[in-house]
Amino acid sequence: MKNIHASGHVRGQSVFLDDLPVHEGTLYAAVFGSPVAHGRITGADLERARALPGVVAVFSHEDIPGKNQIGGNIRDEPLLAERELHYIGQPVFLIVAEDEWTARRARLLAGLQYEALPAITDVEEAWGREQFLFPPRTFRLGSVDEAWEHCVYHFEGEAETGAQEHLYLEPQASYAFPAPHGGMKICSSAQGPAEVQHVAARVLGLPVHRIEVEATQLGGAFGGKEGQATAWACLAALAAWRLQRPVKLVLPRQDDMRMTGKRLPCRARFRIGLSRALKILTYEATFLLDGGAAAGLSPGILERALFHATNSYYIPNVRATAFCCRTNLPPNTAFRGFGAPQAMFALEAAIARAAYELGIPARRIQEANLLKEGDEFPYGQRARQAHARQCWARAEADFDIRKKEKEVEAFNHQNASTKKGLAMMPVCFGISFTKTSMNQASALLHIYQDGSVGLSSGAVEMGQGVSTKLAQLAAMALGVQAERIRVETTDTARVANSSPTAASSGADLNGKAVQHACAQLRRRLLETAASILRAPLAEVDLHAEQVWRNGRPTALSWEKLAPEALQRRVNLSAQGYYATPLICFDREKEKGHPFAYYVYGTAAVTMAVDCIRGTYATEEVCIIHDFGDSLNPDIDQGQVEGGVVQGIGWMTSEEVGCSPDGRLLADSLSTYKIPDIYAAPDVIDCRPLGAEGPGMAALRSKAVGEPPLMYGIAAYFALIQAIRAFNPHYRPGFRAPMTPEKVLMALYQDENAAAL
Ligand code: LUZ
Ligand code: MOS
């Protein structure tokens, strides 16, 4: 089935929050953000802003009727600053006007007096001063120190990955309007409408049932709207509540880039020990994650980093510790991969480091240590249906990696000013929210009297195609054509308490809930059909829009069955519910079985470097990916392509950067460079592994959203290879992103220079 949103998206006809018709009397809001990274508020002068014609109100924290607190598990984040300022762009005032431009102009007239305090913008400094957002955690397996003594090869080093801006096409957006009987309706571009509802209720001081949050489709999210849609929704709701008028708040791109958090940058120190046969016997890593000014989703991100510290490898002795540091930067947040990419990069750096020192290809170490059936992860779960080796072997064979390597070598031999590099990247990504309680979903289905079907679930469509997959699942389960199914918006009044659409689990969890609802409806309709046909239940079946008896079609079509069932007073609505079975985790012991299953894959990336200019191109990306039994190969292929390009961007050109006083250096599209169509790989050849999927995935179709991002890590190591082919003195510092500027410096680095 085609993605039901494809034609709307490519024609620019898809409707997002800011395109919805507005209610009469709608007002527009703009956020006044902190001008300093750290400071104490000493006064405010809002009269000039209030006096501007068209300005309706300027709100501060004093106007919040409920609690000025939007933090999740850790309550450390005010909606509007009270006394202290913690990052540039932190919301301080909300200006509401008759139109957007007036609101933004009034922002320039608002005055804030403050006393500046020293800001911490460096994660090492935060670590040194023990500025932590919450306590560190450590995962352990075997005995690292004992094993270290038995290793033949020992290496230590550092690795670093940068932040990443989500750059969803649709910026953060919310629209709130008072509803009858003291309610509030919020339309929000959010991955988790239930979380927005819950926090908005806290801020407004209302019971949760008085707030309804609806998400239509989102123009991208990538994790950036998992925890961070809340502030803007609460601000719009605050103004709408105080003024009892509709209020819209859509962040201009530059506000969005300045005010919202990014992927957590990470600095890692590692120690890796190998046997003569290149078995990794011991690995120790310490991760310093930069959480920014508030915890947000960082506790989950930190633990997912630890869960993926050994990626697709079996290492018998592991100690991985992660600290989440507090800095004076916007609170960093979820981004496709959720901590796992940061940890995986560190291990690849350790492997690459060992390979260079030993003068062998990294591929040999990678291959010698891949997971096999039954291997234990540092947190106690064992790999089942472990496809790590299969993916690797298929990649080597299908893409003839040896031949490609020889070609790269020959090319480098023949060309003086262009050099190529090839690197491989295995991936093993755990599927389930790491927080066990979040692994639940529900769905609500209505069959209407003409046989058409309305489907609501907790899943938010953000371009990933989950609506299409849910329609497919419902159509299959009910035995009707997918055109009969309308996938509705995601609304807390229809489906309550849903987890955010995140962790690659949207289609899995909501798909199972849809199947559960459909099974109930199907059962009722089969009973109805049996009674109409006066046939035993065992003889009737429902598929292809038809009731069948003993394998032959009857005169009873789906279109006739639905109204007939209604006449007979059969309930044509059903709610389905799913909670992932078996998973558990014990945080005291740091052991358990947190994941329903794993997604595996192997990528090979070839990069070509222009050694005069330092520019580069991704020539080819070859991937064997473990889709299970894909529900929709087109959508899944798209997820792999988008994911790997996004990962390559993170590793290469996407540099956020910040000045020592905490100002983001890349806060617009002229300074932040994501891969465009020209920078995207010339070839992405992604082939399915073809192994059977797990029963824990809907129709054995594995989750696909996040795992492919980590294939992009190979781009960094391919670049390093190419640079070394030109400059044997180059000492890699394993600091991503490897921007063209950095590549150019690396190409001409002399032997005494510091690692780069
Ligand atoms: N969000 C979350 C996630 O709350 N928990 C997770 O485990 C997760 N994993 C990936 C992406 N988002
Ligand atoms: Mo996410 S990083 O919102 O799955």
Distance CA 497, CA 495 (A): 7
CA distances from 71 to 32, 202, 250, 337 (A): 20, 11, 21, 22
Task: Name the pLDDT band for 452 (thresholds 50, 70, 90).
Answer: very high
Distance CA 447, CA 517 (A): 11
Report the chain's terminal Cα–Cα distance, integer Å: 48
Fold for domain 26-119+166-259?
A: Aldehyde Oxidoreductase; domain 3 (3.90.1170)
CB 419 within 8 A of CB 296: no
- For ligand 1, is residue 502 a contact (CB within 6 Å)? yes
Distance CA 676, CA 653 (A): 11
| Atom number, ligand 2, closest to the C-alpha of residue 705 | 4
| Atom number, ligand 1, closest to the C-alpha of residue 499 | 4
- Look over the chain and give the mean of its residue pLDDT values, rounded to a whole number: 97
The interaxial angle of helices 633-651 and 713-726, nearest 10 deg, is 50
Q: How far is the CA of 255 from the centre of ligand 2 (A)?
A: 22
- For ligand 1, is residue 433 a contact (CB within 6 Å)? yes
Ligand with minimal distance to 224 CA: 2
| Atom number, ligand 1, closest to the C-alpha of residue 434 | 7
pLDDT of residue 751: 87
| Atom number, ligand 1, closest to the C-alpha of residue 304 | 7
| Atom number, ligand 2, closest to the C-alpha of residue 505 | 4
| Atom number, ligand 1, closest to the C-alpha of residue 336 | 11
Which of 308, 333, 338 gets mutated to test ligand 1 (max ligand atoms within 8 A of its CB)?
A: 338
- For ligand 1, is residue 335 a contact (CB within 6 Å)? no
What is the number of other CB atoms lying within 10 angstroms of the CB of residue 413?
9
Distance CA 599, CA 344 (A): 15
- For ligand 2, is residue 502 a contact (CB within 6 Å)? yes
Q: How far is the CA of 65 from the centre of ligand 2 (A)?
A: 31
Which of 166, 303, 336 gets mutated to test ligand 2 (max ligand atoms within 8 A of its CB)?
A: 336
Phi, psi torsion values for 178, nearest 5 degrees: -60, 135
Which of 434, 438, 704 gets mutated to test ligand 1 (max ligand atoms within 8 A of its CB)?
A: 434
Give the closest residue to 458 by CA, choosing from 196, 100, 104.
196
pLDDT above 70 covers what percent of the chain? 100
- For ligand 2, is residue 334 a contact (CB within 6 Å)? yes
- For ligand 2, is residue 191 a contact (CB within 6 Å)? yes
What is the bridge-based pairing of β-strands 111-116 and 39-45? antiparallel
In the annotation, is 620 catalytic?
no
- For ligand 1, is residue 300 a contact (CB within 6 Å)? yes
- 178 has which bridge partners? 184
Q: How far is the CA of 48 from the centre of ligand 2 (A)?
A: 41
Single out the catalytic residue among 170, 226, 284, 706.
706
Tens digits of per-residue pLDDT, 236-290? 999 999 999 999 999 999 999 999 999 999 999 999 999 999 999 999 999 999 9
Helix-, strand-, coil-residue percentages of the chain, each rounded to 5: 35, 25, 40
* Minimum CA distance residue for ligand 1 atom 9: 503
- For ligand 1, is residue 625 a contact (CB within 6 Å)? no
Q: What is the mean pLDDT of residues 77-93?
A: 98
Type of residue found at 722: A
SS3 at position 637: helix
* Minimum CA distance residue for ligand 1 atom 6: 433
Q: What is the mean pLDDT of residues 572-585?
A: 98
| Residue 729, pLDDT above cutoff 90 | yes
Which of 304, 435, 709 gets mutated to test ligand 1 (max ligand atoms within 8 A of its CB)?
A: 304
- 431 has which bridge partners? 597
- For ligand 1, is residue 733 a contact (CB within 6 Å)? no
* Minimum CA distance residue for ligand 1 atom 3: 503
Tens digits of per-residue pLDDT, 118-130? 999 999 999 999 9
Q: What is the mean pLDDT of residues 185-190?
A: 98
Task: Name the pLDDT band for 618 (thresholds 50, 70, 90).
Answer: very high
Residue 374 is encoded by which pair of tokens? Answer: 């039954």
* Same fold across 26-119+166-259 and 440-579: no
| Atom number, ligand 2, closest to the C-alpha of residue 336 | 2
pLDDT of residue 686: 98
Tens digits of per-residue pLDDT, 501-521? 999 999 999 999 999 999 999
* Minimum CA distance residue for ligand 1 atom 7: 433
Q: How far is the CA of 341 from the centre of ligand 2 (A)?
A: 12
What is the number of other CB atoms lying within 10 angstroms of the CB of residue 30?
26
Fold for domain 440-579?
A: Aldehyde Oxidoreductase; domain 4 (3.30.365)
Range list of β-strands (E), 38-120: 39-45, 55-59, 84-85, 91-97, 111-116
Task: Name the pLDDT band for 1 (thresholds 50, 70, 90).
Answer: very high
Q: What is the mean pLDDT of residues 339-355?
A: 98
- For ligand 2, is residue 336 a contact (CB within 6 Å)? yes
Contact residues for 610 (Cβ-Cβ < 8 A; gap 6+): 417, 418, 616
- For ligand 2, is residue 335 a contact (CB within 6 Å)? yes
- For ligand 1, is residue 222 a contact (CB within 6 Å)? no
Task: Report pTM.
Answer: 0.98
Q: How far is the CA of 502 from the centre of ligand 1 (A)?
A: 6
Fold for domain 266-433+589-747?
A: Aldehyde Oxidoreductase; domain 4 (3.30.365)
- Residue 557 CA, chain-centre distance (Å), reads 43
Which of 264, 297, 440 gets mutated to test ligand 1 (max ligand atoms within 8 A of its CB)?
A: 297
Ligand with minimal distance to 585 CA: 1
- For ligand 1, is residue 503 a contact (CB within 6 Å)? yes
Residue 561 is encoded by which pair of tokens? Answer: 């069955």
Extents of the domains making up the chain:
26-119+166-259, 266-433+589-747, 440-579
Distance CA 621, CA 233 (A): 40
Give the closest residue to 639 by CA, choosing from 690, 711, 737.
711
